[in-house]
Amino acid sequence: MATLTLLQAVNDGLRTEMRRDDRVVCLGEDIGINGGVFRATEGLQKEFGAERVIDTPLAESGIIGTAIGMALYGLKPVPEIQFMDFIYPAFDQIVSELAKFRYRSGGQFPSPVVIRTPYGGGIKGGHYHSQSAEAYFCHTPGIQVVIPSTPHDAKGLLASAIRGEDPVLFMEPKRIYRSIKGEVPEGEYTVPIGKAAIARPGTQVTIVAWGSMTHIALEAAEKAQEEKGVSCEVLDLRSLVPLDKAALLESVKKTGRVVIVCEAPRTGGYAGELSAIIAEEAIDSMEAPIVRVTGFDTPFPYTLEHAYMPNTGRILKAIDTVVNF
């Protein structure tokens, strides 16, 4: 079993699925000859040719519109949006067309488009290269939102997304593209979409996270155990839509205390939706108010990136709040 970075796992996942199914095609800005801005598609055009790994103009609406047409005619397109911050020119194509085709056609026209996009902060990208916009798409029925946090899950979830018949927004936490390594099986395997993973078992506090925040949550949980003797369970959602509500509620009912960690702005973020679910369905189990540790309601800052993004100190403070309530 190979040890890969998350970025290498994405590349391996694309290569494996393209070898398995010749309907799988990739398209995006600079993904061919250059292998993408982060090199996620490096070597794919050399192996599969320019007809299956397509360099496109810098036109996000055109990229997604083309991918939708490909899917309707039987292909399995995997378009890349170079940074999630640039997805907005394609927003109408995604929410008005892609997410609606299967429903409006009574299931006659599936839309197996997997939109890959790096997201989030942590690389000094400034406010045009660091946003976490998952909530916009979680609000759109018809599209799945998947966010891996480990190399193993990145490859397995990507395979599940490509093999499905629904559109998927596959968000890749670029902060941990190269900093996180893990064992990844060679060849084909899948990780089911809609199933959360317990990244660390615990009994006193549930920390809910996804993407790169899962690793910050794990660091905070370890410190809470070492410094305060508090046992924290870290729940890695892996997919936001569909949500593994059963796993969320099971953990919450066990611990009675919840800290939700995400790097998106606080107002209207997905952490608020999770809070509502817990309040509606597990209030009898709660020992303290739900605490959210999030980004702030400001544009993403460049020089203050370290202060904007959740860190172990902010999470430890939240843990203290729920334990000492």
CB 159 within 8 A of CB 189: yes
Cα gap 245→230, rounded to integer Å:
25
Q: What is the DSSP string of 179-225?
A: T-EEEE-SS-----TT--EEEE--SSEEEEE-TTHHHHHHHHHHHHH
Cα gap 101→98, rounded to integer Å:
6
Task: Assess whether the region 2-184 and the region 197-323 belong to the same CATH fold.
Answer: yes
Across residues 97-107, what is the average pLDDT?
91
CB 14 within 8 A of CB 158: yes
Cα gap 162→170, rounded to integer Å:
10
Cα gap 81→91, rounded to integer Å:
11
Whether the predicted pLDDT of 216 surpasses 90:
yes
Cα gap 76→29, rounded to integer Å:
18
* Phi, psi of 3, rounded to the nearest 5 degrees: -100, 115
Whether the predicted pLDDT of 317 surpasses 90:
yes
Summarised one tens digit per residue, pLDDT across range 6-60 is 999 999 999 999 999 999 999 999 999 999 999 999 999 999 999 999 999 999 9
What pLDDT band is residue 237 in, cutting at 50, 70 and 90? Answer: very high
Across residues 87-93, what is the average pLDDT?
97
Catalytic residue of the set 129, 139, 215, 306 = 129
Helix, coil or strand: residue 149? coil
Q: Is the pTM of this model over 0.85?
A: yes
Among residues of the chain, what percentage have pLDDT more than 70? 100
Cα gap 155→217, rounded to integer Å:
22
Is 129 a known active-site residue? Answer: yes
Whether the predicted pLDDT of 124 surpasses 90:
no
**Share of the chain residues as helix, strand and coil, in percent rounded to the nearest 5:** 40, 20, 40
Q: What is the CATH number of domain 197-323?
A: 3.40.50.920
Average confidence score pLDDT of the chain: 96
Fold of 2-184: Rossmann fold (3.40.50)
Cα gap 23→176, rounded to integer Å:
30
CA 13 to chain centre: 15
Whether the predicted pLDDT of 112 surpasses 90:
yes
Delimit the domains of the chain by residue range.
Answer: 2-184, 197-323
